[in-house]
Amino acid sequence: MRIKIAPSILSADFSCLGKELKKVEAAGADMIHVDVMDGQFVPNITIGPVVIKDLKGSTKLPLDVHLMIENPEKLIDSFVKAGSDMITVHIETISKSKIKIQKSKLAARGIRFGISLNPGTPLSKIKNVLKFADFALIMTVNPGFAGQEFIESVLSKIKRLRSMFKGDISVDGGINERTAKIAVAAGANILVAGSYVFGSGNYRKAIRRLRCEG
């Protein structure tokens, strides 16, 4: 599977997001990861649909919108209208029946649907909804903030998931040159990286290194 790189704009310079998007696009990113936080599901607040709408006009890359919010089903339509190309909800925030409804709505509009789980949430929680997911997003830090340490014990969860799921597996949190390698070896093929990319002096080099291209 080709490794895809999704820089997380949480670590970008928010005073010039349009420029940052253009820079990572030119540097070889495959998609833009957008972290949406509500101050309820996670102890931080970031951005919502109005910002995403303007981001959409600043890049040709798909917008990978990661909803770290309670009751995501109430806001998914707004995120769709804003131009999301991929939408991820957390299994800790939504029931199976609602997942099923959202999957068919999103599929009808050509939007890829992802299901995420926190480091402390067992794989058994998503087993019976994997059939509705185009991809899974495995949190390798506790969600809420950029710049945290990769939690190595999540690797076995990625391995087990890979043995039962053929879709894309995205990993999010603490990804750098070293942890990218072990996450990919465990079965991940989309790498979300915030501080590693935006904290580097050279976005192109950082993205190449994550792909193990030197």
Binding footprint of Zn ion on the chain (CB under 5 A)? 35, 66, 172
- Interface residue with ligand DX5 among 58, 148, 189, 200 (CB under 6 A) is 148
- DSSP H/E element including 89: strand 86-90
Residue 54 catalytic?
no
CB atoms within 10 A of CB 60: 8
Task: Determine whether 172 is an active site residue.
Answer: yes
- Find the catalytic residue in 38, 64, 168, 172: 172
Q: Which option in Zn ion, ligand DX5, none does residue 118 bind, with CB closer than 5 to 8 A by kind?
A: none
Q: How far is the CB of 93 from Zn ion (least distance, A)?
A: 14
Nearer to ligand DX5, 45 or 97 (CB): 45
Answer for which of 4, 8, 46, 207 binds ligand DX5 (CB under 6 A) is 8
Cα torsion 39, 89, 129, 162: sign: negative
CB 192, min distance to ligand DX5, A = 5
Partner from Zn ion, ligand DX5, none binding residue 18, C-beta < 5-8 Å depending on class: none
CA-to-CA distance for 155 and 33, rounded, in angstroms? 21
Among 193, 206, 207, 210, binds ligand DX5 (CB under 6 A): 193
**Which residue number, 90 or 103, has a Cβ lying nearer to ligand DX5?**
90
Residue number with CB closer to Zn ion (197 or 201): 197
Q: Residues with catalytic annotation?
A: 35, 172
* Footprint on this chain of ligand DX5 (rule: CB under 6 A): 8, 10-11, 33, 35, 66, 141, 143-144, 146-148, 172-175, 192-196
